[in-house]
Structure 1
Amino acid sequence: MADTFKFRIDHHGSLVRPPELLAARAVNAPGLRAIEDAAIAEAVRRQRRLSLTVVTDGEFRRADFRSAVLDAVDGFDRGELKPHRSLVAEDASALTALTQIPAKATLPSPAYLAAKLYTPGGAWGSTRELGLALAKIINDEIEAIIARGVRYLQIDNPGYAAALTGQPFDLDEAIEIDSLAVTLKDKPFNVRIGICPIFSAEAEVDAAVAEKLFAGVPVDRWSLPFDKGTPGEVALLRAVPAEKDVCLGIVDPTSAELEDIDTIMDRMDVAGDIRDLEDVAVSPSAGFSPTAGGTTIGVEDQWRKLIHVETIARMCWGNEL
């Protein structure tokens, strides 16, 4: 089912932090906020020049992708969570003021956070109890983000990779928690919510688990790896329900080497045999820097990769983006 709001030239949100920003944060330099503002403005300018269909702030104000919650929410040790500021809504509002291209906001999955933060015998009775409390906070934040004009949100839960590759994982509980986070009472018709459940599918994946996951969490888009040409990637794509769209990660954000265009287009032909490409978008297969400073490529390498994604999008869809 074709989607009017395709956001076809996508990326996961995090960008490589400029060296001057990393240096300023390392010493908590005076005027750090202004340094962040300048770095974000430059990143937005470069995204606009690339004709991306979404723009992010690069997650430049975060230490890692979890920080949106961990830096803004108190009470993990008391069993009662309470945000002391917005998670990302204020940052999203500032982003929308910098560009007319749709702004994209990213948040960590509550199920993922709960699995990482829960400690037996601690303040929370179970992973599920902590996860449901986090889901309520993230659900409220999604409403606030949308109210500030953001049309596209992505939730990241790389924990699903365990279930998809046959490792121990409570899939039902994670689906319940993440579903609560993304279910809105009155979602605007032009807002899309997506989830990234896995960054790499080099091994075989459990197709039945993939089908259950993709049918279970009520999102609009699934962001999946598609940069290695493996059977696991194809199996994941086949498992996405027809009524959902999919974003294929066609380049590796951890390698500066540019992928062969003919190879990528051959893989897009495979994707086209499985689904209508009208319901497909392209992106890197993960964020460029989910942890600040934790990247294997440089700032300029990153932009070359995004140019590569934009080139493939134009080859697939022309100017109908």
Structure 2
Amino acid sequence: MSKHLSTPFRFDYVGSFLRPAKLKEARQQFAEEKISADELKAVEDDGIRELVAKQKKAGYHVITDGEFRRSYWHLDFMWGLEGIEHIELDHGYYFHGEETTHGSCAVTGKIGGHNHPFVEHFKFVKQFEDENTIAKQTLPAPAQTLAELFRGDNGKTTRKFYPEEEELIKDLAAAYHTVFLELYAAGCRNIQLDDCTWGMIVDDGYWQTHIEPGVTVESEANRYLRVNNLALQDLPKDLVVNTHICRGNYHSAYAASGPYDRVAPYIFAKENVHAYYLEFDDERSGSFECLKEVTPGKKVVLGLITTKRPELEDKNAVIARIHEAAKYVPLEDLYLSPQCGFASCEIGNKLTEAEQWAKLALVKDIAETVWGK
């Protein structure tokens, strides 16, 4: 691996990819106890090898496992923490036009992060690094786990083990810190924290239906900011931690709407990450004016290419938007990617694998036009 490589790259992606049919079939067979865990892993391994080869062929400098070993972008990680178990609710998340599957998680004891299975998942991908590519590990942000532990009736169980939220925040942050360090020991130098909590805060409908009376934007934002930053304290200086912030992605449906303006003074000015991967693919995202809050010197990855629809964006229109964003963040600190992953959950978005790779080819083409090869 070349030592100068680190995320983000001028042309980049969030991390999840459409699952091959044979992988979906194997995961279903495993759920039905028709194949063993080892047999499923063999199919996952093969799928990830093929995916990494395609990522490299596409000319990208970052490789991931496509989240091929997960059902969800976030819950599988939470289930791997100590003191948290997999549960099924009687309903899913309610996206616009679609309800998701019903997975969630519940606290069963003191939360910890030792021996997380994602560390082994990372090791498998790391072996494919070379002088042109590095592996990154995607995880849900600590704030996302905190939010899940209070989703619906989950809060009752959480409060049984953690009557004081401050203790929960400290334990959760410490668990993440443990995972970060174990990933680092495994050779990981690039971590991405995926975070939809900010999308919930900016969505007026969510605020009206899910937030208790008396809770303010400031108190909610500071709560999420605190757990994220606490987990990020005292990490090795050569460990790059970025965050991806969007408004939900499930089978091409979205969960929230609203510009980043309401939360920009918190996340862009105060979250201790190196770069922000941001969703700016349609009118739900608002303008770029919120980027004026970004701490000078930090990097912003503009998610201007949508993964929710197969149609390719107009190249010149995207280039114009990049230069519009450069009014708020210097062009040298801007980067380009799709606005989210292609399959945040294993169901995937409504486009084909060929259309997925065409989107990434467009991202690369635009980035090389704007910043040079």
State the secondary structure of the residue aligned to 2:139: strand
> Is the CA contact (8 Å cut-off) linking 1:223 and 1:249 kept in structure 2?
yes
* TM-aligned CA deviation for residue 207 of structure 1: 2.8
Do structure 1's residue 92 and structure 2's residue 122 form an aligned pair? yes
Give distance in 1, aligned partners of 2:16 and 2:289: 27
Aligned equivalent of 2:136, options 104, 111, 118: 104
1:139 aligns with 2:177: yes
> Cα deviations across residues 54-103 of structure 1 (Å, max 9, x unaligned)?
11110111111123423312423433124573242211111110131011
User: Take 1:37 and 1:231, find their aligned partners in 2: how far apart are those partners?
Assistant: 36
SS at match of 2:326: helix
Could you tell me how far 1:133 is from its partner in structure 2?
1.9
1:313 Cα deviation after fit: 1.1
Structure 2 equivalent of residue 44 of structure 1: 52
Q: Does 1:187 align with 2:187?
A: no
Stretches of structure 2 that go unaligned for 5 or more consecutive residues are 85-106, 212-216, 249-253
Q: Percent identity?
A: 28
Work out which of the residue numbers 159, 163, 188 in structure 2 matches 1:125: 163
Q: Which whole-Å deviations, capped at 9, do the CAs of 1:141-160 have from their partners, x for residues lacking one?
A: 11222222222211011011
Q: CA deviation at 1:211?
A: 1.8
Equivalent residue number for residue 78 of structure 1: 108
Report the more deviating stretch, 139-148 or 15-24.
139-148
State how far apart, in whole Å, the 1-side matches of 2:23 and 2:331 are: 39
The aligned counterpart of 2:14 is 12
CA distance in 1, matches of 2:70, 2:135: 17
Paired with 1:65 and 1:162, the residues of 2 have a C-alpha distance of 17
User: Is this contact kept in 1: 2:303–2:336, CA < 8 A?
Assistant: yes
How does the TM-score come out when normalised to structure 1? 0.90
| Distance (whole Å) between structure 2 residues aligned to residue 81 and residue 279 of structure 1 | 37
1:264 is matched with which residue: 318, 324, 332?
Answer: 318
Q: Deviations over 1:103-131 (max 9, x none)?
A: 11111112211211231353222555434
Matched AA of 2:15:
G
Q: Who is 2:360 aligned against?
A: 306
Secondary structure of the structure 1 residue equivalent to 2:129: coil
Matched with 2:298 is 244
Query: What is the CA–CA distance in structure 2 between the aligned matches of 1:125 and 1:176, rounded to whole Å?
Result: 18
Q: Please say if 1:149 is aligned against 2:197.
A: no
Q: Which residue of structure 2 lines up, in the alignment, with residue 56 of structure 1?
A: 64
Matched residue count: 315
1:313 and 1:106 map into 2 onto residues whose CA distance is: 23
Match of 1:232 in 2: 286
CA contact (8 A) 1:110 1:132 kept: no
Provide TM-score, normalisation by structure 2.
Answer: 0.78
Q: Structure 1: any 5+ residue segments left out of the alignment?
A: none
In the TM superposition, 1:278-289 aligns within 5 A as 278-289=332-343
| Distance in structure 1 (CA, Å) of the matches to 2:272 and 2:323 | 28
1:80 aligns to what SS in structure 2? strand
Instruction: For 1:239, give the aligned amino acid.
Output: E
